[in-house]
Amino acid sequence: MASSPRPAGSVDTGAAALQPRPALPYLGSYPPALRQQVQDLIDAGRLGSWLQQRYPQVHTVQTDRLLYEYTMELKDRYLRSSVPLSKVVYDPKLHIIRNALGTHTTVARVQGGKLKAKREIRVAQLFRQAAPEFLKMIVVHELAHLREREHDKAFYALCAHMEPDYHQLEFDLRLWLTWRELAPAPAAAPAHPA
């Protein structure tokens, strides 16, 4: 059977056009022009190399103990008078879309008739393979919640006080998460862009 002729002015884009373009779930709140720039990098296969050039290192904070010490150094530098932290750990159970990249919680217990509260920060396990800048960004974000509960102007001002490049790092982290999702199967994909 012969194929039907294409309408005048139509372009045969081949099989590639039948492939759905990847969604950009981490960039939904950004302007369409910026999302298009990211999509162009993805389509050209250059997102991973762009990230590797910009963030060539993987941090050395690989254990829960080192993460706690790292977080406490930042807390002591910027939030000395805030509530104490009892625990900071990498959490393999955090889901990066449905939940968060990190969490801050208050655990309350009754001890001897008194209510005692402990504060905890949990960081998604995937940050073990992240650039040092991304680890700092997520720790700064969770530390800011010790003082500011809501994601409002005061919250982001505190984040920017602790990390002046906070907003750029947050965007670049979203690009890294996008790249990780688009990379081949997890076993074949490097933890850091090659």
Strand partners, 125: none
pLDDT the model gives residue 14? 43
What are the residues whose beta carbons fall under 8 Å from the beta carbon of 176, sequence distance 6 or more?
Answer: 51, 55, 130, 131, 134, 193
Q: Show the beta-strand stretches assigned E in 66-128.
A: 85-91, 102-111, 114-124
Grouped pLDDT means (10 residues each) for the chain, 194 residues:
39 44 79 95 94 96 97 96 90 68 63 78 92 97 92 96 97 93 60 55
72: tokens are 């406490």
Calpha distance 87→13 (Å, rounded): 54
Task: List the CATH code of the domain at 64-182.
Answer: 3.30.2010.10
pLDDT the model gives residue 7? 38
Strand partners, 112: none
84: tokens are 């104490």
Residue 193's Cβ-count burial label (10 Å; 0-12, 13-18, 19+) is buried
pLDDT the model gives residue 107? 64
Nearest to 67 by CA among 160, 131, 136: 136
10: tokens are 């139509």
pLDDT the model gives residue 61? 97
Domain range list for the chain: 64-182
pLDDT the model gives residue 99? 56
pLDDT the model gives residue 106? 59
Q: What angle separates helix 132-147 from helix 153-162, to the nearest 10 degrees? A: 130
